[in-house]
């Protein structure tokens, strides 16, 4: 697993952004996360070591792309084509692009995208029902080979059944919000989406509880270091049984 941040900085666009970790981290060092800049890692996928080998090797596998910004941000319109060119070349890696701007995908896709590239997964986030109902029909309508839904921070009860029933979603990831101003995440909301995933045989990951977690009517404050571990301990994640070999 590797992380590739070709640019840094972003603009808040929806309720899920309110306590954005990029803003939080930048504020802590006196930096303005609203200023979007190309990073020194822009060319990382094609960078080579002294032996002429790629620094990101095929063993790195998944490359989480643009984790301190949004890949489809307007400010990066002049830089994105260069990224597509690098992604096109590295078919030995698998690029994960997580976005709150799936509505910009079509105008931002490369001219030879066709019906999608096998080594690219596009993940649309939805923090509430309103954003799910806006973004997920777009995600489903686009020519994409691998699609995921991420609801993190999950801010309310969400129903995803009609999107999952299409059979076009490969995984759903849910979780709470971290940080000092974290909003609560209710375990019932997590269980509801998990149930929908089970109904349609879709893998489900409960990634983290968040800092303010509500279970059985009680509110728990959970330290950062335990948020992922607690979610794992809940045993709530779900992998559908594999179909038997013919």
Q: What are the residues binding ligand SF4 (CB under 6 A)?
A: 10, 12-13, 16-17, 20, 22, 69-70, 100
Q: How far is the CB of 6 from ligand SF4 (least distance, A)?
A: 13
Question: Which lies closer to ligand SF4 via its Cβ, residue 13 or residue 35?
Answer: 13
Q: How far is the CB of 100 from ligand SF4 (least distance, A)?
A: 4
Question: Which lies closer to ligand SF4 via its Cβ, residue 17 or residue 191?
Answer: 17
Q: How far is the CB of 21 from ligand SF4 (least distance, A)?
A: 7
The string of DSSP letters for the chain reads -EEE-SEE-----SGGGTT-HHHHHHHHTT--TTS-EE-TTTTGGG-B-TTS-BSS-GGG-EEEE-TTS-TT-GGGTTTHHHHHHHHHH-TTSEEEEEES-GGGHHHHS-TT-TT--TTEEEEEE-SSHHHHHHHHHHHHHS--SEEEEEE-S--S----HHHHTTS---EEEEE---STTPPPEEHHHHHHHHHHHHHHT--EEEEE--SEEEETTEEEE--HHHHHHHHHHTT--B-PPPPPP-
Question: Which lies closer to ligand SF4 via its Cβ, residue 54 or residue 64?
Answer: 64
Q: How far is the CB of 234 from ligand SF4 (least distance, A)?
A: 25
Question: Which lies closer to ligand SF4 via its Cβ, residue 12 or residue 145?
Answer: 12
């Amino acid at each position: 697993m590797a992380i590739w941040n070709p640019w840094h900085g972003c603009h808040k666009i929806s309720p899920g952004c309110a306590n954005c970790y990029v803003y939080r981290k930048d504020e802590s060092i006196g930096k303005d996360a609203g200023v979007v800049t190309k990073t020194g890692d822009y060319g990382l996928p094609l960078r080579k070591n002294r032996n002429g080998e790629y620094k990101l090797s095929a063993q790195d596998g998944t490359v989480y792309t643009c984790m301190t910004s949004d890949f489809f941000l307007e400010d990066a319109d002049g830089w994105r084509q260069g990224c597509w060119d690098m992604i096109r070349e590295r078919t030995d890696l698998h690029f994960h692009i997580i976005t709150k701007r799936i509505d910009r995908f079509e105008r931002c896709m490369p001219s030879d995208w066709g019906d999608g590239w096998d080594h690219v997964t596009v993940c649309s986030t939805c923090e509430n029902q309103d954003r799910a109902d806006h973004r997920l029909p777009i995600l489903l309508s686009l020519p994409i080979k691998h699609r995921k839904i991420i609801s993190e921070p999950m801010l309310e009860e969400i129903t995803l059944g009609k999107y999952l029933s299409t059979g076009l979603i490969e995984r759903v990831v849910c979780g709470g919000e971290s940080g000092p101003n974290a909003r609560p995440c209710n375990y019932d909301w997590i269980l509801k989406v998990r149930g929908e995933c089970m109904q349609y045989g879709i893998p489900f990951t409960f990634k983290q509880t968040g800092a303010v977690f509500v279970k059985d009517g009680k509110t728990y404050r959970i330290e950062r270091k335990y948020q992922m571990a607690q979610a794992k301990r809940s045993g709530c994640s779900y992998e559908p049984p594999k179909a038997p070999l013919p």
